[in-house]
Chains A and B, each alone.
Chain A
Amino acid sequence: EAGVTQFPSHSVIEKGQTVTLRCDPISGHDNLYWYRRVMGKEIKFLLHFVKESKQDESGMPNNRFLAERTGGTYSTLKVQPAELEDSGVYFCASSRSGTGNFKEQFFGPGTRLTVL
């Protein structure tokens, strides 16, 4: 079973440009999460999809960030326009749905974003 994949692994852009990050979850996982780690600080939650619907987007920092999950498969996270403080590592995670009390989140390797 393939794990969570993210593309690109690294991205270097200039302030004001646009960047789109992609996450492919594990096949069959309805839950998809985006997190980010900025400047070596703690990893912070951004948002949670259940299939194609946004279940919780309370962690999205501002309206320069747009996440989509059309068709409930892969997801994209667009930053437009990028600012210096957006630099960090963006992680994607996925988990199963269904009954049961615990659903492990499986993480991708992350995308390192550098805004100059």
Chain B
Amino acid sequence: GNSVTQMEGPVTLSEEAFLTINCTYTATGYPSLFWYVQYPGEGLQLLLKATKADDKGSNKGFEATYRKETTSFHLEKGSVQVSDSAVYFCALSQAAGNKLTFGGGTRVLVKP
């Protein structure tokens, strides 16, 4: 079956530091890949997505590239802010609109 593995947290950074959260997946075919973010007290929000190999998703300074050869979708941000403190979830879907398979989540804490 499908599975997503992401680095465990928590990840603690200082403001303006570089952030990388690793995500690898196992799936048949060509899934769509997503990063969701959950800010404290809120629901999950779609941060970015990529639907085919070599696609780069980007939003709010975050980027992730769909790497079919390494089955990875690592999340990066060049300069984090305190407001980026949240839990980040990597996920995949085998078909548009269908169920999501999530990784375990990575808590990120950015200190001023």
Contacts and interface: CB of A to CB of B under 8 A. Distances in A.
Interface of A: 3-4, 31, 33, 35, 37, 40-45, 48, 56, 59, 91, 93, 95, 97, 100-110
B4 A42 contact: yes
B101 A45 contact: yes
Interface stretch (B11-19, B43-51, B75-83): B43-51
Given A42-B103, A91-B44, 9 more contacts: A3-B43, A42-B4, A43-B44, A44-B102, A56-B99, A91-B43, A102-B49, A106-B43, A109-B41
B102 A102 contact: no
Interface string B70-112: 0000000000000000000101000011111111110000000
A103 B99 contact: no
B42 interface: yes
Interface of B: 4, 32, 36, 41-46, 49, 51, 89, 91, 96-105
Contacts of B104: 40-42
Contacts of B43: 3-4, 91, 106-110
A45 B45 CA distance: 16
A44 B89 CA distance: 12
Contacts of A48: 98-99
A40 B9 CA distance: 11
A102 B100 contact: no
A103 B96 CA distance: 6
A109 B91 CA distance: 18
A101 B51 contact: yes
A107 B34 CA distance: 14
Contact of B51 (A31, A102, A106): A102
B42 A109 contact: yes
Contacts of B51: 101-102
Contacts of A109: 41-43
A110 B89 CA distance: 15
Contacts of A59: 99
Contact of A45 (B49, B97, B100): B100
